[in-house]
Structure 1
Amino acid sequence: MSEATITDDARLESERPQLLGLAYRMLGTVADAEDAVQEAYARWYRMPPADRAGIVKPGAWLMRVTSRICLDELGSARVRRESYVGEWLPEPLPDASLFAPPSGAGSPGADPLDRVVREDELSTAVLVVLESLSPAERVAFVLHDVFAVPFGEIAEVVGRSPEACRQLASQARRHVAERRGGTASRQQHDAVLRAFVAAASTGELGGLVALLDPSVRLVSDGGGLVSAARRPVHGSDDVARFVLGLMAKFAAITTLSTHETADGLVLAFAEGDVVGTVVTAEVRADRISELRIMRNPEKLRLWQRRPRPPGG
């Protein structure tokens, strides 16, 4: 292999983190993102050398191909999730820095609507909202608002006109803004979650109920691999009792630690060195409006690599 080929391959491989971030935002799990990106690279290397040589911007080519693969995957994923055991949740990340957007990416301008997901775009809360979009809306939104891809190039991915893609991204942006409007600041979120941990640790039902919105919703994802609530739990009283039941069941065999993530402060429960449960929360008006419990071990792989924080 020539030195030029090695250099070209290294330059091409440097695109992988950005492509993984793109695919994760579109598909919601790291494993699916890795598969999509790997397929894009496979298609690149399957091309005849002469065809590869004619591509001026290999990184842009890989982004378009990865996006098309994700678009196809989003369509089939909805069918597969009909047979998913229990509730499906996006994979929570212990560290968002790996999938941070490239410097300068994202829509320009000072309009808060255009920057609605800049601070928490990798949070499970935002990914849950993105799940409610159509595949074409999600692809257009992620490509334009996060990665600043022009609508002309997005049109090549989704098979629609640039103006239609502009409308798709605009509709998605409004939907995200509406769903995320009213959520607490990071400081408020973390303060409520710390109070939640303290109340749950005491076992006092009233104190816990006071921190929950009356219409709070708890969702648990075990993927059929571990025990988890098959259906959402609704209402402050039922959710509080459910949480206290879990605390009583696992307190003797697990250790609790808190971590700063794209979701703000999250809770991780570990048995020995194995993290088996990660809890993220959505806070509105100083009360928890949604709790998401990830127990599916296939979506906790990255948490097993995370070093134990000092005092955690």
Structure 2
Amino acid sequence: MSTQLSVIMGERRHLINLAYRLLGSLADAEDVVQETYARWYAMSEPQREAIEAPAGWLTTVASRICLDLLRSARVRRERYVGEWIPEPLPDHTEWLDERSAAVAVDPADRVTLDESVNMAFLVVLESMTPAERVTFILHDVFRYSFPEVAEIVGRTPAACRQLATSARRRIRASDAPAAATAQRADLVRDFKRAWEAKDIEALIGLLDPAATAIGDGGGLVTAELRPVEGGERVARYFAGLADRKPDATLLERTVNGQLGLVVQEDGVVTTVIAFDVAGDRITHIWAIRNPEKLRPWLS
């Protein structure tokens, strides 16, 4: 394998990580990386050899494809049936492997799980403009310089600094006192037990009075079209779900790097649930039911 080819193939995981954070969708990230490599190999060999920094070229192309997708995504998501939630990711040990009868996931396609992919963070990214999101992720998460970012997004370095500042302002506006990891996990486990017991009072005690639950069915399966708002309403809604699906199994699983829950029906994952916690209460619940977003969870 040539040195250049080794560099090119070695960038795959970086590109998957970058594209997922930019798009909030593993499926779209995979398509972006495939398109990026297709453009690389569409060039003649002399053209490829003339590129001094192949890794930088790949990042630039992938980022620009993501920027175009983000611009068009706003139109597509306006037509989306119900709420759109970023695609949830399992822990590395829970990804599909080649022994699965479903779609295999290459190790290079596994996204590194850290604070920049937790569900609450990804939801805030959805509120940003495409240019803000690309600039913020490239500069603040992946540590590209503003001149490098400017070349990618087609703005001046000064304009990119302003975009990053605006993006950070959105992040700060959404911040609440973070719960410790152990406390967060205890709250999720307590929620699971109360849900299984259909204990409405216990659920209310775990939820912030202004808690919100959002479901994403993608128009393919049943999900609430609008958020359920208010701790008591959320508690009663989940207790009602337990009545409607008495044979469902709840499992504790890592969702985007944090403890969440998975709902299985007849051994098949039908819902992945992520939580956001502030202080000693659950503030947000995101339930993803769109089958297209559950591919890495199928078993």
TM-score (norm 2): 0.90
Equivalent residue in structure 1 for 2:194, among 181, 190, 199: 199
2:37 is equivalent to residue 45 of structure 1: no
Tell me the equivalent position of 1:259: 253
Name the TM-score, length of structure 1 as normaliser: 0.86
**C-alpha separation between the residues in 1 aligned to 2:134 and 2:34?**
18
Does the 8 A contact of 1:263 with 1:280 survive in 2? no
- The equivalent position to 1:286 in structure 2, one of 280, 284, 297, is 280
Which AA in structure 2 matches 1:138? R
- After superposition, the C-alpha distances for 1:5-64 in whole angstroms (9 at most, x for unaligned) are xx5434312211110110000101101111111111111111222221111111110001
Q: Which residue matches 1:69? A: 65
**What SS does structure 2 have at the residue aligned with 1:81?**
helix
- Which residue of 271, 274, 283 maps to 1:277? 271
Q: Distance in 2 between matches of 1:293 and 1:127?
A: 14
User: Could you tell me whether the CA contact under 8 Å between 2:192 and 2:250 is conserved in 1?
Assistant: no
Deviation per CA, 1:168-198, whole angstroms, max 9, x where unpaired?
1122123213312323222221111111112
Q: Name the stretch that deviates more: 287-296 or 173-182.
A: 173-182
**Higher mean displacement: 125-134 or 180-189:** 180-189
Unpaired runs of 5+ residues, structure 2, are: 94-109
Matched, 1:187 2:182: yes
- For the residue of structure 1 that corresponds to 2:117, the secondary structure is coil
Helix, strand or coil at the partner of 1:128: helix
Deviations 1:207-247 (A, max 9, x none): 11111111111100000111111111111121111101111
**Alignment correspondent of 1:99:** 111
Alignment RMSD (CA, Å): 1.7
Correspondence 1:186-265 to 2 at 5 A: 186-252=181-247, 254-265=248-259
Out of 172-181 and 75-84, give the one that drifted further: 172-181
- Matching residue's letter, 1:295: R
1:136-155: CA deviation from partner (whole Å, max 9, x where unpaired): 11001111111111111111
State the 1:126 CA deviation.
0.6
Moved over 6 A (4+): none
Amino acid across the alignment from 1:268? V
3-state DSSP of counterpart to 1:121: helix
Partner of 1:155: 150
The CA distance in 1 between the partners of 2:178 and 2:125, in whole Å, is: 16
How much does 1:65 deviate? 0.6
Task: Compute the displacement of 1:300 (Å).
Answer: 0.6
Aligned residues: percent identity?
Answer: 48
262-271 or 29-38: bigger deviation? 262-271
SS in 2 for 1:11: helix
